[in-house]
Copies of this chain bind each other. A is one copy, B any other.
Amino acid sequence: MIFKELIERFVSGDRAACAKLISLIEEDSPQAVEILGSVYSKVGQAHRIGITGPPGAGKSTLVEKLTTLIRKEDRSVAIVAVDPTSPFSGGAILGDRVRMSSLFCDPNVFIRSMATRGSLGGLAFKTRAVCDLLDAFGNDVILIETVGVGQAELDVAKAAQTTLVVLVPESGDGIQAMKAGLMEIGDIFVVNKSDREGADRLAVEIETMLEMHPQNNSWRPRVFKTSAEKGEGIESLFVGIVEHRLFLEKHHFFRDFQKENIRLDITQMVEQRLNESFWNDPRMNRFLEEFVDKAASGEISPYAAACKLWEKWQQRRKK
């Protein structure tokens, strides 16, 4: 009853209801699947833009400036910041968000942090789910900002149709970006803090690397220089983002993107149920602990233990 009311309030555009539904998804509420199912017909309108890059590259400031620009065109924006939840980090991340205080008061800007703890596939799945919800809520643009530059962040980046890789002129930053696997995921590269020395060189470095490795679809990644702090280069960057969107639409990549997301979602949900059905069986947990003890005492290897646990499961299924 309360749940049905929440959905109704969500559909009527109530931000508090939207926030509440996001929380239910984040908390793995059993109703999450129902929520998403009931609003899914409205999904597919928003442009999802990922902003990734090493810590300290100025991503939050860039997100703020892009949001201000998009709001000038009277389009609504949701910001999803994928942050680690850490007893150490609470304050720092809030610090970043406080800088966005100018946006906090705008009813057409929705800001949300998400935690990176828990299962990794789970985070990418939840990010997609939250984006679906924000999309169904009627947001025109969704900005997905990640904090780190690891594999999980690359997976989260896949939730975006357009991915911005933000770098700063530091010694060897281009090389570091390559090493972190950022070169392949960028549709647009941003050399931020471009008033620093080495900005031109970094831009050339990126261009060179891109030329050496043509992308498999026909989009040619572009490089922009910005100074988010000073608000320089943001408009040109935004034109580049819009061009990428038009390119995707022209080649029907939006549909491919959606199908791939659906496939990932279904696979993830089914595998989660499979694992739950296994571990919800108390006997399997008991067997696990027995085998852990045996392996720790050297009686059996963990690998043989896994085989035996699997056999137990198979036997149980046959009964």
Which A positions have Cβ atoms within 8 angstroms of B? Answer: 33-34, 36-38, 40-41, 54-56, 83-84, 86-89, 92-93, 95, 116-117, 119-121, 123, 147-155, 170-173, 175-181, 183-184, 209, 212-213, 255, 258-259, 261-263, 265-267, 269-271, 273-275, 278, 288, 291-293, 295-296, 298, 301-307, 309-310, 313, 317
Contacts and interface: CB of A to CB of B under 8 A. Distances in A.
Given A178-B88, A258-B296, A265-B303, A149 B150 contact: yes
Given A33-B307, A88-B184, A259-B296, 20 more contacts: A37-B303, A40-B298, A55-B179, A55-B180, A56-B172, A86-B181, A87-B213, A88-B178, A88-B181, A92-B178, A123-B151, A148-B149, A148-B181, A150-B151, A151-B153, A262-B292, A263-B292, A269-B310, A270-B313, A273-B306
A119 B292 CA distance: 24
B150 A152 contact: yes
A122 to B, nearest CB: 10
Given A274-B278, A278-B271, A301-B37, A262 B180 contact: no
B56 A171 contact: yes
Nearest to A38: B301
A288 B298 CA distance: 42
10 contacts: A40-B302, A54-B149, A88-B184, A89-B179, A120-B120, A120-B121, A121-B121, A262-B296, A266-B309, A271-B275
Contact of A303 (B56, B269, B305): B269
Of all A-B residue pairs in the complex, the 7 with the closest CB atoms, nearest first, are A150-B150, A40-B301, A269-B306, A55-B176, A151-B152, A84-B181, A148-B150
A167 to B, nearest CB: 11
B175 A92 contact: yes
